[in-house]
């Protein structure tokens, strides 16, 4: 695909607008590790929220959504829509607790909450495992998507794409720290949204698609992944005609996956770069507000442009072979349903293609910049500073953070060559983290959870997941959801047993944690009494510590987000009756949510 001069000009202007402001934060970020990794704990809610949204809007996300739509229909997106339950629970149960902890990283939590060598071991292990190995895997999936897009649009080899995006990302991540990352995220969010909305508009208005009415009409007569007409368009799976797909896409995500699995950006109880933004917020209110804004924008504002492009691609490229014929220069190993999104970008007119190029660069950079800074914070603050070189001045650790940033990109770039599709990586990550999620939810509200529970959960999850991968390699097949469910069951039994039978956390550590974080609910009653705190004193925070009020906020928030999401979808489909009914549900739940937040913020 050939870009015109206007496209290059617009793309360069878009990139310059994104990155230029970050140049002014280099000096500030170099003052201390608190500035470099946590923006001095002074970030307002709207900036933290925009940064969360931009980070999860990566270059692999449109490809992943296109894959779901083409292989499982719109309903396939329940595999990530279900994480609304996770995200909104973070808003009302965990955001304020994270901010109260005062930690620089979420891994510092381990030595606040647990005691002994086990706590230090968990912190050090997760710093290396998540900060380096897991983080490199995540960045590799994002960069793989960028490589596929560049291969479709420009015929680039993988190394060319990695070199192009690597120089840009490493320089700015190392120079400007978290302040620069978040400012870049803020600008990039608006550029990316403009680009994908334009992509959806031009995809739907193609002559062969025929606008929204044409798209709905054509797909209504096309046999979908569930074997019946119009199933591509359905927002819910067909429980009657394809039960297996309904289990994989809807039942398991909503009943098990949302609480049982750990995935960056959708961690039960918050974690990784979501926790990083909450810890960088200037107050508990800002932490709560940022996570609420993130979940609304993540699940309501962004999905439908991606979905529309995926649906339109089914008309333009009905079969995978049609994509192969249209792009013969793309290596066979990179051709999958996930490249349908970049394949549809060839129809963008001059100028808009330049905006899309700028948007794609922004999508890649916003995610990679965050992962570089987040991973470096783990490697430096939670491993190097904690276990290798203690007591050095902050300037030493800032330099170490910048060097770690370069190391992470080099390692993640090498990992790209071992991956094939974004979906495979997504499913592998879910399975390896299976069963650990419940622990991360419960540890804030039950004193019995120990560092040994975390060690056992991580070990059992990894061992069981790898056993399934080995069995699959030797031809032993299981039903699609069986490995996940079995891994969750075994891991959960293992860590709960450890909570009762294993070594316990030192009582002084638990009392100190209770005083600092003030977790609410009955799970800390024993520690409250040991600390000599009366029931009246424990509820001094009033309604802000109310478990029932947090539960009401969680339920109303989830319903509000889902009703808004499907209101938009039904308006687009022209189903006005459903749209107005869902709009009414949205208004009612939004009013309830506003009232809950007002009471929490008193």
The domain that holds 120 is classified in CATH as: 1.20.1730.10
Looking at residue 539, what is its pLDDT?
A: 65
In the predicted structure, residue 153 carries a pLDDT above the cut 90? no
Per the structure, the count of domains in the chain is 2
What is the average pLDDT score of the chain?
86
Residue 514 lies in a domain: no
pLDDT, tens digit, 9 for 90 and up, residues 370-397: 889 899 999 999 999 999 998 888 889 9
107: helix, coil or strand?
Answer: helix
Arithmetic mean of pLDDT, 213-237? 81
Q: φ and ψ at 43, to 5 degrees?
A: -90, 130
In angstroms, rounded to a whole number, what is the distance separating the alpha carbons of residues 375 and 274?
13
Kindly give, in sequence order, each residue whose CB lies less than 8 Å from that of residue 418, ignoring residues fewer than 6 positions away. Answer: 140
> End of a domain among 419, 448, 474?
419
391: helix, coil or strand?
Answer: coil
Question: What is the Cα Rg of the chain in Å?
Answer: 24
Looking at residue 602, what is its pLDDT?
A: 67
Residue 517 lies in a domain: no
pLDDT, tens digit, 9 for 90 and up, residues 506-522: 999 999 999 898 888 88
Residue 104 lies in a domain: yes
In the predicted structure, residue 203 carries a pLDDT above the cut 60? yes
447: helix, coil or strand?
Answer: coil
- If one counts every other C-beta atom within 10 angstroms of the C-beta of residue 164, the result is 16
pLDDT, tens digit, 9 for 90 and up, residues 299-355: 998 899 999 999 999 999 988 888 888 888 777 777 788 888 888 988 889 888 888
Quote the crossing angle between the two packed helices 576-600 and 547-573, to the nearest 10°.
160
> End of a domain among 419, 440, 457?
419
Show the domain range for 306: 5-240+273-419
Arithmetic mean of pLDDT, 427-445? 76
Do 410 and 547 fall into the same domain? Answer: no
Q: Name the residue among 601, 135, 205 with its Cα closest to residue 407.
A: 135
Do 136 and 281 fall into the same domain? Answer: yes
**Longest distance between any two alpha carbons in the chain, whole Å:** 74
In angstroms, rounded to a whole number, what is the distance separating the alpha carbons of residues 299 and 257?
17
Do 283 and 152 fall into the same domain? Answer: yes
In the predicted structure, residue 431 carries a pLDDT above the cut 80? no
In the predicted structure, residue 427 carries a pLDDT above the cut 70? no
Alpha helices in 474-601 (DSSP H): 482-501, 507-517, 525-530, 535-538, 547-573, 576-600
Looking at residue 300, what is its pLDDT?
A: 93
Cut 0.95: pTM above it: no
Residue 424 lies in a domain: no
CA atoms within a 13 Å half-sphere pointing along the CA-CB vector of 272: 22
Looking at residue 529, what is its pLDDT?
A: 86
Q: Name the residue among 393, 376, 401 with its Cα closest to residue 276.
A: 376
In angstroms, rounded to a whole number, what is the distance separating the alpha carbons of residues 315 and 214?
10
In angstroms, rounded to a whole number, what is the distance separating the alpha carbons of residues 198 and 345?
10
Do 162 and 295 fall into the same domain? Answer: yes
Looking at residue 545, what is its pLDDT?
A: 57
Looking at residue 141, what is its pLDDT?
A: 81
Looking at residue 543, what is its pLDDT?
A: 44
Kindly give, in sequence order, each residue whose CB lies less than 8 Å from that of residue 433, ignoring residues fewer than 6 positions away. Answer: 261, 262, 263, 461
Tokens of residue 283, six digits:
């107050």
Do 411 and 547 fall into the same domain? Answer: no
Q: How confident is the model at residue 261 (pLDDT cuts 50, 70, 90)?
A: confident
Residue 474 lies in a domain: no
pLDDT, tens digit, 9 for 90 and up, residues 534-578: 777 666 654 445 788 889 999 999 999 999 999 999 999 999 999
Residue 442 lies in a domain: no
- Of 203-207, 328-332, 470-474, give the range with the top mean pLDDT: 203-207
Looking at residue 227, what is its pLDDT?
A: 61
pLDDT, tens digit, 9 for 90 and up, residues 43-81: 999 999 999 988 888 777 888 899 999 988 999 999 999
Kindly give, in sequence order, each residue whose CB lies less than 8 Å from that of residue 472, ignoring residues fewer than 6 positions away. Answer: 478
Arithmetic mean of pLDDT, 277-286? 89
Per-residue b or e along 33-60, where b marks 16 or more CB atoms closer than 10 Å to that residue's CB = bbbbbbbbbebebebbbbbbbbbbbbbb
> End of a domain among 353, 388, 419?
419
In the predicted structure, residue 294 carries a pLDDT above the cut 70? yes
Looking at residue 197, what is its pLDDT?
A: 93
In angstroms, rounded to a whole number, what is the distance separating the alpha carbons of residues 279 and 95?
9
Residue 466 lies in a domain: no
């Amino acid at each position: 695909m050939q870009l015109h001069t206007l496209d290059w000009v617009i793309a360069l202007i878009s990139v310059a607008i994104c990155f230029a402001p970050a140049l002014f934060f280099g000096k500030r970020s170099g003052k201390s590790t608190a500035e470099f990794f946590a923006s001095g704990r002074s970030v307002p809610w709207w900036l933290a929220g925009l940064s969360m949204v931009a980070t999860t809007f990566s270059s692999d996300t449109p490809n992943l959504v296109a894959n779901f739509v083409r292989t499982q229909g719109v309903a396939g997106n329940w595999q990530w829509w279900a994480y609304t339950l996770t995200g909104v629970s973070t808003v009302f149960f965990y955001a304020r607790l994270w901010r109260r902890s005062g930690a620089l990283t979420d891994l510092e939590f381990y030595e606040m909450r647990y005691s002994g060598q086990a706590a230090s071991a968990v912190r050090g292990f997760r710093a290396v495992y998540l900060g380096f190995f897991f983080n490199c895997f995540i960045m590799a999936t994002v960069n793989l998507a960028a490589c596929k897009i560049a291969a479709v649009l420009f015929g680039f080899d993988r190394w060319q794409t990695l070199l192009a995006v690597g120089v840009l990302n490493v320089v700015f991540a190392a120079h400007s720290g978290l302040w620069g990352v978040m400012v870049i995220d803020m600008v990039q969010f608006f550029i990316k949204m403009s680009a994908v909305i334009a992509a959806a508009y031009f995809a739907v208005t193609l002559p062969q698609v025929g606008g929204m009415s044409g798209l709905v009409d054509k797909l209504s007569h096309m046999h979908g992944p569930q074997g019946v007409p119009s199933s591509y368009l359905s927002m819910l799976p067909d429980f009657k005609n394809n039960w297996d797909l309904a289990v994989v896409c809807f039942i398991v995500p909503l009943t098990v996956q949302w609480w049982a699995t750990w995935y960056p950006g959708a961690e039960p109880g918050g974690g990784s770069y979501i926790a990083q933004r909450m810890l960088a917020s200037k107050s508990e209110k800002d932490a709560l507000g940022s996570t609420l804004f993130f979940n609304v924008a993540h699940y309501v504002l962004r999905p439908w442009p991606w979905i529309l492009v995926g649906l339109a691609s089914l008309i333009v490229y009905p079969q995978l072979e049609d994509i192969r014929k249209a792009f013969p220069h793309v290596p066979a190993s990179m051709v999958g349903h996930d490249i349908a999104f970049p394949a549809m970008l060839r129809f963008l007119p001059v100028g808009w293609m330049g905006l899309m190029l700028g948007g794609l660069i922004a999508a890649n950079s916003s995610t990679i910049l965050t992962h570089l800074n987040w991973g470096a914070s783990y490697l430096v603050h939670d491993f190097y500073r904690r276990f290798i070189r203690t007591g050095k001045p902050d300037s030493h650790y800032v330099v170490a953070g910048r060097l770690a940033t370069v190391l992470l990109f080099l390692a993640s770039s090498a990992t790209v060559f071992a991956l094939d599709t974004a979906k495979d990586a997504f499913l592998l990550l879910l399975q390896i983290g299976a069963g650990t999620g419940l622990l991360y939810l419960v540890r804030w509200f039950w004193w019995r959870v120990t560092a040994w529970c975390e060690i056992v959960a991580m070990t059992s999850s990894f061992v069981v997941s790898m056993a399934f991968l080995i069995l699959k390699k030797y031809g032993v097949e299981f039903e699609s959801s069986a490995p996940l469910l079995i891994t969750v069951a075994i891991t959960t039994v293992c860590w709960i047993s450890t909570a009762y039978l294993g070594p316990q956390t030192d009582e002084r550590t638990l009392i100190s944690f209770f005083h600092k974080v003030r977790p609410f609910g009955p799970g800390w009653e024993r520690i409250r009494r040991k600390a000599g705190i009366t029931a009246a004193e424990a509820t001094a925070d009033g309604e802000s510590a109310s478990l029932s009020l947090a539960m009401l906020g969680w339920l109303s928030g989830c319903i509000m987000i889902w009703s808004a999401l499907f209101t938009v979808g039904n308006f687009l489909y022209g189903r006005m009756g459903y749209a107005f009914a869902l709009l009414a549900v949205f208004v009612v739940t939004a009013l309830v949510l506003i009232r809950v937040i007002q009471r929490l913020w008193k």
